[in-house]
């Protein structure tokens, strides 16, 4: 009897090991179709694809290993505001025309440094601020409207020269117009679209809404932060319009992704613009309608340095133009179909991009990456 028990025990153990190997020893191949290196890129794999190949995966007990280097890679389970996992995010480097092979192993993952973060800031007039390890931004809330002299509308930039997350510390200090060694806020928005906000455009006029009224965080790092801002209806040339903006930022990126979904009670096609604030002094501009890229290397702001801003529209651009105070990309938003674009900024004092050419090259390379996504296969 003991021999039979031992025999069946060995069979059970072998079956378990076989199942373990099938569930956790598959290879995830990620290939780069471009001849250029792609560093710190965050990739997303649908969670259903993971479950199909790893049916026994324990979400509290796995790690992701680069097979060649044996290094553990940072990852994040992405929910997109849902109860169930929607995808897994992985950050890695891939050489030009190269392939990285990853393995999911059973075991406790290392604690990874948070690289993205966002929150509502009710203690500072309902700002909503977000950041990653490169740059920071904020949108203004309802409380700012109480003082007309302070009123601003578009997207604000907080420049950084550290990979640390700084929002909470800056708000706590209350001195974010002073550089304490990690950057500052000197970007001026005023009544413009700032560093890439979006608004309806009819009869040669931008129709600004009031500031956002409701917010919801969908995911909050360590590799991607995503949130939604909702704006109440306002009158746009006798048409009632509302908008919801879903904004996300990835680790390692100078740009945020924006999905702006406009609704109105009259027309199925609403003209809108994405805009960048323009200064009185001379700067360097890029307007590429065909690629959907507009950018502005601002004039130097004294000892504070120089900011570059730029946007990449994935929704087709009908035209681009320059006004006295803004650079505008024109497009059409249809009901229930969001305008999708990337927008962001860079600071020369961060010592990564220090010229207009460097900034414009970054935007073109970013667009090239979007047009040539990494190829993912689970073997």
User: Do 149 and 68 belong together in one domain?
Assistant: no
User: Do 184 and 72 belong together in one domain?
Assistant: no
In order of 98, 224, 368, the CA distances from 32 in angstroms are: 5, 21, 12
User: Do 23 and 135 belong together in one domain?
Assistant: no
What pLDDT does residue 23 have? 40
User: Do 177 and 281 belong together in one domain?
Assistant: yes
User: Do 188 and 90 belong together in one domain?
Assistant: no
User: Do 12 and 30 belong together in one domain?
Assistant: yes
In a domain, 88, yes or no: yes
The CATH code of the domain that includes 347 is: 2.70.98
For residue 265, what pLDDT band results from cuts at 50, 70 and 90?
A: confident
User: Do 101 and 176 belong together in one domain?
Assistant: no
> What is the mean predicted confidence (pLDDT) over 113-138?
97
Task: Give the alpha-carbon dihedral of 48, 54, 56, 62, to 10 degrees.
Answer: -100
Question: What is d(CA 119, CA 220) in angstroms, rounded to the nearest whole number?
Answer: 9
Last residue of a domain, one of 86, 112, 138: 112
For residue 18, what pLDDT band results from cuts at 50, 70 and 90?
A: very low
Residue 129 makes CB contacts below 8 A (sequence gap 6+) with 118, 119, 121, 136, 137, 138, 158, 167, 171
User: Do 282 and 336 belong together in one domain?
Assistant: yes
What pLDDT does residue 50 have? 95
pLDDT tens readout for residues 140-166: 999 898 887 778 899 999 999 999 999
* 358 Ramachandran zone, left/alpha/beta (phi>0; psi -120 to 50): alpha
User: Do 106 and 142 belong together in one domain?
Assistant: no
Last residue of a domain, one of 112, 136, 154: 112
Only one residue has tokens 């309608």, namely: 289
pLDDT tens readout for residues 170-213: 999 988 889 999 999 999 999 999 999 999 999 999 999 999 99
> What is the mean predicted confidence (pLDDT) over 15-21?
37
Domain extent for 79: 2-112
pLDDT tens readout for residues 288-346: 999 999 999 999 999 999 999 999 999 999 999 999 999 999 999 987 789 999 999 99
Number of domains in the chain: 2
User: Do 86 and 106 belong together in one domain?
Assistant: yes
Q: Check pLDDT > 80 for residue 379.
A: yes
Summarize the chain as % helix, strand, coil (round to 5).
20, 45, 35
What pTM, to 2 d.p., does this model score? 0.92
For residue 24, what pLDDT band results from cuts at 50, 70 and 90?
A: low
For residue 56, what pLDDT band results from cuts at 50, 70 and 90?
A: confident
- Backbone Cα Rg of the chain: 24
Q: What tokens appear for 337 in the block? A: 């179909």
Q: What is the side-by-side order of every strand in the sheet holding 87-94?
A: 38-46, 87-94, 75-78
Last residue of a domain, one of 112, 141, 168: 112
The CATH code of the domain that includes 14 is: 2.60.40.1180
């Amino acid at each position: 009897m003991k021999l039979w028990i031992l025999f069946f025990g060995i069979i059970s153990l072998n079956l378990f090991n076989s199942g373990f190997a099938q569930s956790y020893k598959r290879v995830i191949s990620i290939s780069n179709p471009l001849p250029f290196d792609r560093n710190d890129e965050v990739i997303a794999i649908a969670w259903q694809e993971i479950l199909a190949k790893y049916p026994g995966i324990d979400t509290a007990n796995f790690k992701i290993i680069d097979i060649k280097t044996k290094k553990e890679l940072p990852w994040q389970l992405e929910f997109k505001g849902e109860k169930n996992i929607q995808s897994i995010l992985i950050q890695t480097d891939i050489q030009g025309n190269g392939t990285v092979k990853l393995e999911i192993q059973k075991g406790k993952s290392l604690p990874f440094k948070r690289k993205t973060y966002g929150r509502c800031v009710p203690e500072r007039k309902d700002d909503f601020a977000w950041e990653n390890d490169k740059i920071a931004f904020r949108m203004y809330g309802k409380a700012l409207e109480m003082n007309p002299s302070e009123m601003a509308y578009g997207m604000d930039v907080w420049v950084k020269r550290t990979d640390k997350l700084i929002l909470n510390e800056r708000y706590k200090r209350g001195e974010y117009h002073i550089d304490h060694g990690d950057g500052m806020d000197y970007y001026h928005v005023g009544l413009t679209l700032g560093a890439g906000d979006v608004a309806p455009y009819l009869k040669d006029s931008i129709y600004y809404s009031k500031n956002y009224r409701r917010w919801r965080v969908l995911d909050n790092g360590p590799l991607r932060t995503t949130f939604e801002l909702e704006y109440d209806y306002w009158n746009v040339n006798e048409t009632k319009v509302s908008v919801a903006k879903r904004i996300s930022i990835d680790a390692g990126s100078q740009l945020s992704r924006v999905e702006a979904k406009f609704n109105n009670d009259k027309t199925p096609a609403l003209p809108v613009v994405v805009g960048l604030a323009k200064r009185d002094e001379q700067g360097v501009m890029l307007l590429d309608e065909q690629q959907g890229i507009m950018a502005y290397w601002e004039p130097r702001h004294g000892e504070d340095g120089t900011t570059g801003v730029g946007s990449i529209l994935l929704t087709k651009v009908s035209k681009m133009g320059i006004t006295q105070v803004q650079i505008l990309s024109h497009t059409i938003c249809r009901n229930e179909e969001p305008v999708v674009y990337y927008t962001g900024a860079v600071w020369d004092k961060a010592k990564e991009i220090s010229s207009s050419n460097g900034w414009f090259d970054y935007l073109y390379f970013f667009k090239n990456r979007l047009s040539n996504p990494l190829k993912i296969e689970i073997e």
